Structure 1
């Protein structure tokens, strides 16, 4: 099944996929249900399309490198009384083809036809190159 819509988000502060995984694993241990939630201010208006097989694609240092399946949305009210959206994400992070992406704020919708392909299992276990080098190789067609 092809998703109707995905989400694109900067992984602010991450320098690698491993750092993103480590951060999420540490944060998920703090939750009662063990799931990882990414909290954002804005609630997606196209929620049903995202829940129809959609993923959040992570941009790390200017390059889309991975994705996670979106499982659901939960309302969280912060200590400041503001309503926020908690994206419940699958624990598995899937590596994707390195795709350069310019900086942006918040998150963006990503059409399935614009999403980078998943790496095959053989390539997913390869040693990581620095994200900027991966982006440069992707720009010249070497993936």
Structure 2
């Protein structure tokens, strides 16, 4: 049985999809409600979003979750943050900001951007432009 969402969450999620020109399919709306329905930002993995969708009663495959997250990233609704080259997190906050990666819990959180200073970047190869700089600060217990 599918969990009933608050109509405001559905409205917020549908508007989020529409802002990027994405068609509001049932599965996209269900995943968007879990991601932005309450207005809060999220850092999720495909696996954690899949588990949350199943807990909410949505019959969506892990492959669909991956494909939907990629579509959200391509539409500019989310950013993918890769940790260790093997683990991807998807962030609903799309402005430039650094992250903490908590090695003990394998979680990703926002780090205070106002405390980060990048003095310079290497020269960009000809014909290229910087699209984004990802800063991931890895943390473990001292």
Compute the TM-score of the two structures, normalised by the length of structure 2. Answer: 0.29
Q: Which has the larger radius of gyration?
A: 2
- Larger fraction in strand: 1
Tell me the TM-score normalized by structure 1: 0.29
